[in-house]
Structure 1
Amino acid sequence: MSAPTGPTRWEPDVLGAGFERLELPLGDDDEGPVVATLVRYRPAPSARRVFEAVGIGGRRPAAGADVLYVHGWSDYFFNPEIARYWAGAGARFYALDLRKYGRSLREWQTPGYVTDLAAYDADLAAALAAMGRATDASGPGSASGGASARPLVLMGHSTGGLVLSLWAARNPGRASALVLNSPWLEFQLSRLGREAIAPAIVFGARINPMGPMPNVDLGFYTRSVDRAQGGEWEFDHAWRPDRGFKVHPAWLTAILAGHATVAAGIDVGAPVLTLLSARSMIQPRWDEGMRASDIVLVVDEIAERATRLGPSVSIARIDGALHDVLLSREPARAAAYAAITRWLRGYAPR
């Protein structure tokens, strides 16, 4: 198969004015050529008014930082409000569509499929290099070896939060802070459920790693987000399917291994803020309360697991929030951004 064609320099992105994208070639895997895609936000001077709009006053709480955002499962970066928030807070904002997701997905690929979450180390390394950050581990604030002196803030949603947490623990000193948006740190059936099903999933992955698994996504989460169905957001339904990507045993084995690693305790080497909804509502029938709850994860379980990420972990529970807290209705989003701002003022690297 021939190498993928695409931009080899920064080009305009689908999000419009101020947003650019850059393809990051990652070589080949079993399905052929692989790329990740880095998105950056370069606001016009007039766009800085969002600084006041998100309720930040006084000194910019993330001044001088680089922020790298990573999306969740069956997802991609499509929320420009996040970029504008961080730009208003004084940071340079980037978002990464991982291999086989969103802008990086190719027609010959199995969406979202990897067999080891450490495979994303290559995606992150390429993104950080494109951001002008060295790949050494000399620590935040170091200028040795060409390393950036700018603090690095990692922001991840759901599976992206799991990926970034594991990466930070394997790469001590690289990240200066983590902001996690409903990170998928534990299986929905809890630790006991995960441990009970893991042997069968691992066995299935050995026999038929890409075998079909039941789709348990009933489309309720999309209904709570999609503007056409009463939500507040527009997005590409090919890149973010209404009932999610198909799940395969080898991929789920990688996720369960990540959960087990977090449950055993890791140290991401930086202060952590975890944003969560105040409540979960996981059930087989639609309820309007799902528009103000996490209907994907058990938030109490995730709050407990977040404490396993290191010695400095803050947890903000946002009333009325969805699974993706920053896709919630405006009052909950405003509360979430205010929580990030308060935390940055207390814990952000200078």
Structure 2
Amino acid sequence: MSIKISNGSTLPLYQRDVLGTGYEQATLNFPDDYEGQVTATLIRKKAAQATNKAVLYIHGFIDYFFQTEMAEQFNQHGFDFYALDLRKYGRSILPHQKYYNVREIAEYDAEITEALNIIAAEGHDAVLLSGHSTGGLTTTLYAAHHPDHPLIKALWVNSPFYDFNMNPIKKKLGLPNLSRVGKICPDLKIPSNLNKWYTPSLHKNFHGEWYFNLDWKPPSYPLVRLSFVRAIFEAQKEIHQGVTLNVPALVMHSHQTKNPKKWHKYAQTSDVILDVKHIDKYAKKIKGDVTLSEIKNGLHDLVLSEKSVRENVYQQLFEWLELKGL
């Protein structure tokens, strides 16, 4: 069930989320796409005191929302916390869908817009838009494409996917061709070349300190669809040309990138997915009030780093938000 609100969206009726006490989820429905029925999932955790401020968090590729410490940090600092599991990810996957299947990053605009409408209807007038990795790319473009959005007051991105981490020659010659083929054969798969130690560096069952659903965030993902490669490649073109933001942005990334072939401490003190030099390079091309922050020993998902590292992330984040009046 849902209740109509003035902007034409619906105010959802929440149910208990898999994360337990305090976490609620609601299903958002959208028009069918090339695979059929489409849903996304809005998760929320409200602060102890009523607030007009909220954060909307968008996860990365091969991911979903499970970072409860981040939600609780925002609650403690006076924000209601919201996150989306995008279509075909995590809580939102439907039996007829292929995991993570997307043809354009703009497909996600529908659920971001709907989530923001709901957040406004639930009494908020100031939102920090936030994203990790692919979610960082998506939210940067969303903020750029909606410069006058009445709710979005700032952007925080955590290791945004502003460029592919690959051999420069292959990137220059191969990616345009893969993108062209991906338009014709979107379901064709190629090797992902993702570092195999990333998820094992995080999960309690391997070398990490976190528990999450390994069906929704699997330990390995050897093949990737060309549709995804094309979607990212086309979206990154905008970033590389330099987008304009009307709200202040904080871009965070690790201090180093490593690509360990066997288990090594680098897997827990580095970004093993993206090249942090690319993040820095293209963040500097964004026009507007942009702050860059390099996090010593940060992982690709900075909020899953070792305790002292993520404490530094939160300290810098909330000091920056206070500085920006949010």
Task: Give TM-score, length-normalised by structure 2.
Answer: 0.91
Whole-angstrom distance in 1 between the partners of 2:135 and 2:111: 12
Among 5, 15, 19, the alignment partner of 2:19 is 15
Q: Partner amino acid for 2:30?
A: L
| SS of residue matched to 1:301 | helix
Please tell me whether the aligned partners of residues 18 and 44 of structure 1 are also in contact (alpha carbons under 8 angstroms).
no
Please tell me whether the aligned partners of residues 132 and 158 of structure 2 are also in contact (alpha carbons under 8 angstroms).
yes
- Is 1:127 aligned to residue 115 of structure 2? yes
Please tell me whether the aligned partners of residues 258 and 272 of structure 2 are also in contact (alpha carbons under 8 angstroms).
yes
Whole-angstrom distance in 2 between the partners of 1:167 and 1:260: 14
The equivalent of 1:269 in structure 2 is 246
The equivalent of 2:28 in structure 1 is 24
- Is 1:83 aligned to residue 71 of structure 2? yes
- Is 1:339 aligned to residue 311 of structure 2? no
Q: Partner amino acid for 1:222?
A: T
- Is 1:183 aligned to residue 171 of structure 2? no
- Is 1:66 aligned to residue 54 of structure 2? yes
Cα 1:81–1:31 change in 2 (3 A) is same
What pairs up with 1:246-325 in 2 under 5 angstroms? 246-325=223-302
The equivalent of 2:6 in structure 1 is none
Where has structure 1 moved over 3 Å in runs of 4 or more?
Answer: 190-195
Whole-angstrom distance in 2 between the partners of 1:348 and 1:108: 45
Cα 1:218–1:314 change in 2 (3 A) is closer
Provide Cα deviations, 1:103-151, integer angstroms capped at 9, x if missing partner.
00112111111111111111112211222359xxxxxxxxxxxxx7621
Whole-angstrom distance in 2 between the partners of 1:104 and 1:245: 22
Cα 1:311–1:192 change in 2 (3 A) is farther
- Is 1:328 aligned to residue 316 of structure 2? no
Q: Partner amino acid for 1:128?
A: L
- Is 1:38 aligned to residue 42 of structure 2? yes
Higher mean displacement: 106-115 or 330-339 = 106-115
Task: Give TM-score, length-normalised by structure 1.
Answer: 0.85
Provide Cα deviations, 1:23-56, integer angstroms capped at 9, x if missing partner.
00012111110001000002557xx9xxxxxxxx
Provide Cα deviations, 1:238-263, integer angstroms capped at 9, x if missing partner.
11111138411122111011111100
The equivalent of 1:227 in structure 2 is 204
Aligned residues between the structures: 313
Higher mean displacement: 278-287 or 103-112 = 278-287
Higher mean displacement: 190-199 or 299-308 = 190-199
| SS of residue matched to 2:314 | helix
Q: Partner amino acid for 2:41?
A: T
The equivalent of 1:53 in structure 2 is none
| SS of residue matched to 1:297 | coil
Cα 1:44–1:286 change in 2 (3 A) is same
Q: How far apart are residue 324 of structure 1 and its match?
A: 0.2
Higher mean displacement: 186-195 or 314-323 = 186-195
Provide Cα deviations, 1:275-305, integer angstroms capped at 9, x if missing partner.
1111111243332221111000111210121
Higher mean displacement: 110-119 or 300-309 = 300-309
Q: Partner amino acid for 2:250?
A: L
Higher mean displacement: 322-331 or 173-182 = 173-182
Whole-angstrom distance in 2 between the partners of 1:184 and 1:301: 9
Q: Partner amino acid for 1:247?
A: V
Please tell me whether the aligned partners of residues 297 and 309 of structure 2 are also in contact (alpha carbons under 8 angstroms).
yes
| SS of residue matched to 1:36 | strand
Provide Cα deviations, 1:180-201, integer angstroms capped at 9, x if missing partner.
1001111113776533222221
Among 131, 134, 158, the alignment partner of 1:156 is 131
- Is 1:171 aligned to residue 146 of structure 2? yes
| SS of residue matched to 1:266 | coil
- Is 1:104 aligned to residue 81 of structure 2? no
Provide Cα deviations, 1:323-346, integer angstroms capped at 9, x if missing partner.
000000101010000010121121
Q: How far apart are residue 64 of structure 1 and its match?
A: 3.4
Q: How far apart are residue 318 of structure 1 and its match?
A: 1.2
Please tell me whether the aligned partners of residues 46 and 79 of structure 2 are also in contact (alpha carbons under 8 angstroms).
no
| SS of residue matched to 1:68 | strand
Cα 1:217–1:187 change in 2 (3 A) is closer
| SS of residue matched to 1:228 | coil
Q: Partner amino acid for 1:108?
A: H
Unaligned runs of 5+ in 1: 1-7, 49-62, 135-147
Whole-angstrom distance in 2 between the partners of 1:277 and 1:22: 33
| SS of residue matched to 1:273 | strand
Cα 1:133–1:305 change in 2 (3 A) is farther
| SS of residue matched to 1:229 | coil
Unaligned runs of 5+ in 2: 1-11
